[in-house]
Chains A and B, each alone.
Chain A
Amino acid sequence: MNPKLKDPGIILLVVLVAVSAFVLIWWPTEIYLMGISLAGWLMFFTYFIWFALAVAYVLWIEKVEKEKESD
């Protein structure tokens, strides 16, 4: 398998694209929570997912670098 496809960046990118696709395809404009469209809330909740992905990336890359150093 192409090593580039195992790059943490590419794997996490797939997650990011999947989450955005889910939000934009479902797009539930007619369901409301607290008077605000659920489509809006879904976009809001992604903020936290994006940050979690950034944390995952930084930790993952640092682990890979550490493994490399110990080799």
Chain B
Amino acid sequence: MQLMETVILAIYLVGMTLMGIYFTKRAHSSESDYWTAGKKINTFVGAFALFAALASSSSLMGAVGSGVSLGIPFLFAYGFGAVAILPFTMFLVSGQIRRSGVSTLPEFFKQRYGNSVQIIAVAIVVVGMTFYMVPQLTASGLIGSYVLGIDYTTAVIVLGIGFTLYAALGGMWAITYTDLIQGALILVGMLVLSIIILTQHNGFASLIQEALTVTPTFGDITQPWMSYFGLFLAFLWFGIVSPSAVMRNFASRDARTARRSALGACLLYLIIFIFGFIIAAGGASLGIAETLDNQDMIFISVIETYMSPLLAGIMFAGLLAAIMSSADAMLLAISAGVARDIYKEYIKKDATEKQVTRLGFIIMVVASMIGILIAIEPPQLIAIMVGWVGGGLLSAFGFPLVLGIWWKRANTAGALAGMLGGGLTFLLLVITKPFALVSEPIIAAPVSLILVIVVSLMTPPPSEEMKNQVDRYHGDLINTKRKVS
């Protein structure tokens, strides 16, 4: 057991739990508060919250590990997509979704395409986000077992239950405010680690040279082109198709705050990937990749090698924080899906806010139990599992959502065909593995696109009312242009 690290982790987790309890009262005061923090979050807090929700265990542990074992260009491909997440989301959907007035992804599908599409969407969100808990739990289990000296399975169970209770108690208020701390911890921790590595290796150029001497393939493109392209696509679309990230956007006070938060989060992402580059180079110069059973442990080894126990403890807290906030946001998306979008919508329309919030709590616990069970025997590396979730959500939701906003002619039949066709094609490719790793969305997303367009054109167009609704998504902008011209 690493004593100092354990003490710091314990202090951190207790602090976060107290914060959760403090915000519980606030969260349960109204349903809106619980789900979206009452839409009162400001730019600064919003930027860190968005960043921390998106910067999952994968963007840290997975990216650094893959940058060492598969060559640094693989890490660059992560950032290539990930830094573009927020601009891409802003360009295509965030303003329009905000103007539509809905607060979850399935709610948007209901407004635009009707009940059938909403129910399918909720099912995909629940399954996708539950699976997404697996890489988060795997990563926390690896850190926990290393620091506490307990076995991996126990670590997964204990940490899994810990952050589920915390998320379930506090809702979005607790998650958003602790995210401010978690985002800052990640950033400062990685900054300090990068400075230590650069100092020990006498600067950037000699660090790269040492990395290349120890790991000659460090600078190479080691995988097929399709893997880099697939990874880029899966990350690029993540902000649009990830139900948890979209919900973050609504927790801001107004459209201006939401945009500025996204801009801030984009900058934080850029900085984190530069640090990731330096840390991966530090890892490559150690020559440890071959000696580890699990490549996802590389980042942990780098931290232990370069940092003192005190700093390493803080850094592990930062990593665990990243995992925790991502997992919390996912749990919230799962419980919102079932409690709000299904239970209150179709099963018990007159349910009180308290009943809905309570059901949300139960769903969170159930979902995390399932996640824990799968994470005990994780099916793949963290980076690959996260790539699958992004790719799967993109294949199912990407085009029904974007065309729903930008193409009036898109209709319910087209959206259903695109969602089911894209999702099933993706699953088929994951199971049969005909192509390079994580390249599934390169095929499955275009299948979804074609299905939405062709099936929409073959079936009757949406009502005039619906077409006007699509105009309203772009409302302010189009009205302005018309006024000006």
Contact B88 A39 (CB under 8 A): no
- B219-271 at interface with A (beta carbon < 8 Å): 219-221, 225, 228-229, 232, 236, 256, 259-260, 262-263, 266-267, 270
Known interface pairs A34-B208, A58-B260. Does A44 touch B266 (Cβ–Cβ under 8 Å)? no
Contact B87 A16 (CB under 8 A): yes
Contact A29 B221 (CB under 8 A): yes
Pairs A-B, 6 closest by C-beta atoms: A40-B73, A36-B219, A9-B91, A43-B76, A43-B80, A54-B87
Q: Give complex CA distance A55, B478 in Å.
A: 22
Q: Give complex CA distance A34, B422 in Å.
A: 41
Known interface pairs A54-B262, A54-B263, A55-B263. Does A36 touch B91 (Cβ–Cβ under 8 Å)? no
B480 within 8 A of A: yes
B124 within 8 A of A: no
B77 within 8 A of A: yes
Interface bits A20-52 vs B (CB < 8 Å: 1, else 0): 100110010100101111011101101110110
Known interface pairs A24-B232, A58-B263. Does A53 touch B83 (Cβ–Cβ under 8 Å)? no
Q: Count the A-B residue pairs with Cβ separation under 8 angstroms: how many? A: 132
State how many residues of chain A have any CB contact under 8 Å with chain B. Answer: 42
A-B contact pairs, 22 of them (CB 8 A): A4-B478, A7-B474, A24-B229, A32-B219, A36-B72, A37-B73, A37-B219, A37-B221, A40-B76, A40-B219, A43-B73, A43-B232, A47-B79, A47-B270, A50-B87, A51-B266, A53-B87, A54-B86, A54-B90, A54-B266, A68-B480, A71-B484
Contact B208 A35 (CB under 8 A): yes
Q: Give complex CA distance A50, B262 in Å.
A: 12
Residues of chain A within 8 A (CB-CB) of B77 are: 43
Contact B270 A13 (CB under 8 A): no
Contact B92 A4 (CB under 8 A): no
Q: Give complex CA distance A43, B478 in Å.
A: 35
Contact B477 A57 (CB under 8 A): no
Residues of chain A within 8 A (CB-CB) of B232 are: 20, 24, 43
Known interface pairs A3-B477, A16-B91. Does A40 touch B266 (Cβ–Cβ under 8 Å)? no
- B273-299 at interface with A (beta carbon < 8 Å): 273-274, 277
Known interface pairs A24-B232, A35-B209. Does A4 touch B406 (Cβ–Cβ under 8 Å)? yes
Q: Give complex CA distance A71, B485 in Å.
A: 12
Q: Give complex CA distance A36, B91 in Å.
A: 32
Contact A39 B219 (CB under 8 A): no
Interface bits B449-485 vs A (CB < 8 Å: 1, else 0): 0000000000000000000000000101111111110
A18 within 8 A of B: no
Contact A50 B270 (CB under 8 A): yes
B205 within 8 A of A: yes
Contact among B73, B83, B229, B274 for A46, CB-based, below 8 A: B83
Known interface pairs A4-B478, A40-B221. Does A68 touch B483 (Cβ–Cβ under 8 Å)? yes
Known interface pairs A16-B87, A34-B205, A43-B77. Does A51 touch B267 (Cβ–Cβ under 8 Å)? yes
Contact A46 B84 (CB under 8 A): yes
Residues of chain B within 8 A (CB-CB) of A24 are: 225, 228-229, 232
Contact B256 A62 (CB under 8 A): yes
Interface bits B69-85 vs A (CB < 8 Å: 1, else 0): 00111001101100110
Smallest CB separation, B171 vs chain A (Å) = 29
Known interface pairs A35-B208, A71-B483. Does A51 touch B270 (Cβ–Cβ under 8 Å)? yes
Q: Which residue of A lies closest to B90 (CB)?
A: A57
Q: Give complex CA distance A7, B41 in Å.
A: 27
B218 within 8 A of A: yes
Residues of chain A within 8 A (CB-CB) of B79 are: 43-44, 47
Residues of chain B within 8 A (CB-CB) of A39 are: 73, 221, 228
Residues of chain A within 8 A (CB-CB) of B92 are: 9, 13
B427 within 8 A of A: no
